Structure formats: C-alpha cells, structure tokens
Amino acid sequence: MAKCALKTKIKKDRIIFIVGPTAIGKTEIAVILAKKLNAEIISCDSMQIYKGMDVLSSSPALRLRRKIPHHLISCIKPDKEYNVAKYRRSALKEIRQILIKNKTPFFVGGTGHYMSILIDGIFKAGPRNQKIRQELFKEAQEKGNMFLYERLTKIDPEAAAKIHPHDTKRIVRALEVFQTTGKPISELQKQRNGLQDKYDIRIFCLNMPRDKLNKRIEARVDRMFGLGLVREVKKLLKSKLSKTAAYAIGIRELKGHFDGLYNLEEAKALIKRHSRLYAKRQLTWFRKDKRIEWIEPADTEAFPSIAARIAARIFEPC
C-alpha cells in the first residue's frame, strides 16, 4: 500500500523495456504494444545500430517501421567503432525528444549491457591509462591472476567479491581505476545516475523452453539465408569493419566459408550453433536482474495476445 501511495504522490514519466533472447519475437510484439502505449521504439541492440547489416542484425522490417517510429537503427557506418557510452548518449537524447511529444520511450532488444548502462547509469572513472593497464597485464602474465586479485581484495574487497579471480580484464580495470583516481571502483560505481533515478521503469523479458527457442533460432537463420545473408556479408567484407561490427554472428562464420575452410551448409550450422549459445548468454545476463518481469508465451500464442498480456501488467491498477 505504501508503495502505491508513493507512486500516486510522485508521478514519473514511464519508460518500458522489452528484452529477451534472439529470435523470440520481441520486434513483432513491441510494434503491437507500442500502439497501445502511444510509444516510439528505441533499439537496444548493439548490431542494429549499423548500416548495411539489416539481415545480420534482424533489424525490424520496413513495414513495421512504418507503423511505429523506430530510433537508433541503421545509423552508423560499420567501419566506425561504437560502444556502450556512445549508445547511452544517443539513447538519452532520443528519450528526451520522445517525451517532448508526450509519448512513451520504449526500448526493444537483446543487448543486456546496453539496458543496464541506461537504467543504472555509467560511473566516471576518468580516461583509461594505457601505461598502467599494460603494466598490470604484464604483472598478471608474469605473476599470475591471483597476485593481482589478492591486491584488489585489500584495496577494494567489495569489488573483488563481484569479480572472478580469473577475470583478468575486470581485475586490471578495477586496479587501474584505483591507481588513476585514488578511489575504489566500487565507490565510484555507487555515484552513477541512471534512468531508474528519474523515471518509472518497467522491464519485461520474453522467454520460452530452450528446445522451442532453439527451433525458432534455427528457423530464423534459414530465413536470413533466404533474405540474402551471404550477399550482405560479402559486401560488408569488402571494407574494413570496426571491431564491434565484426562481432556480428554470421560474419566470421561466412568468412571461413569464403576462405574455403568449409562449405556453405557448415557455415550455416555454425551460425545456428553460435546463435543458440548467444541466446543462452543473453538469458544468463537477464536472469541476474531482479527487476525484470518475465513473460513466457503459451504454445502457439499469437503476438497480439502476448502484447495484450504485457499491456495488462503495465496498466493494471496499483
């Protein structure tokens, strides 16, 4: 009751997130739901940001984009580096512009890191110090991870408790921040401001039994080949791709085929396998976030029905 009273007293603009693993149907459901919410969709996908990767990234079809305005899709050249900080700046700008129109910002995608950095904020640790980083990585190589990890446990036990002793990259980053700023990274992370501090955030994650999801993933990969995936990747590989864009599932697998390492069917099988593993990693990320409300579609449940169920949760009386 107290929670309801607080929501009534302090009315905040609402921001909705629909997340979930690849191929589960987020895009179609989101378009239907966006109409009910008077919303505009902002992509929360690290690959849909790139131009010329519509098939690779399963970008929303033009027929769907014509129904509901979509943002942060196909707006960066694939040779340009892109990261979570740049995404956050662009997304915050889109939120402001959508709210000015008295509409609801509606994030849709499967990149958990993008979602988290928006909702929780980003901490300011200053620029990276390449010299310190190189020295720390050299120490790890010469003396082992545990040598650095034990140092971290003394400097910042709170951060160390959240980092695996074999995660060299995160250990080095935490030590680098301390040596650069004189403050523990765990302390700086508490100072960050995110969307949750200003808005009413609702997060819904779609899920289904693993065997059914795997069938959807394999069917999607087959459709991607029918839509010209091979042609799209050949064109992309004619120019140098940024490190981020090159991570798109399908590029390395098809390049191996182009280089004569295996045939096209084997490339397709690799894409399916890597897509299944990616879906597993996505769900692992989302399961860690206790704020998420889970939606599991029933067998053969149509997209409008799923959208209606989510809408009912959003609009249900407090």
pLDDT at 3 over 70: no
Residue boundaries of the structural domains of the chain: 13-122+193-315, 130-189
pLDDT bucket at 73, cuts 50 / 70 / 90: very high
Kindly tell me if the per-residue pLDDT of 67 is higher than 90. Answer: yes
State how far the Cα of 173 lies from the Cα of 171, in Å rounded to an integer. 5
pLDDT category, 167, cuts 50, 70, 90?
confident
What pLDDT is attached to residue 10? Answer: 52
The answer to whether domain 13-122+193-315 and domain 130-189 are alike in fold is: no
- Please, what's the b/e burial string for 281-309 (b: 16 or more CB within 10 A of its CB; e: otherwise)? ebbebbeeeeebeebebeeeeebeebbeb
DSSP symbols for 125-193: --S--HHHHHHHHHHHHHH-HHHHHHHHHHH-HHHHTTS-TT-HHHHHHHHHHHHHHSS-HHHHHTT--
Query: If one looks up domain 130-189 in CATH, what number appears?
Result: 1.10.20.140
pLDDT band (50, 70, 90) for residue 318:
low
Which token pair is 310?
């989510």
Residue 22 C-alpha from the chain's centroid: 11
Label residue 170 by pLDDT band (50, 70, 90).
Answer: confident
- pLDDT for 124 beyond 80: no
pLDDT at 5 over 50: no
Kindly report the number of other CB atoms within 10 A of residue 6's CB atom.
10
User: Is 82 a residue whose pLDDT tops 70?
Assistant: yes
CA 272 to CA 250: how far, in whole Å?
9
Query: Under CATH, which number does the domain 13-122+193-315 receive?
Result: 3.40.50.300
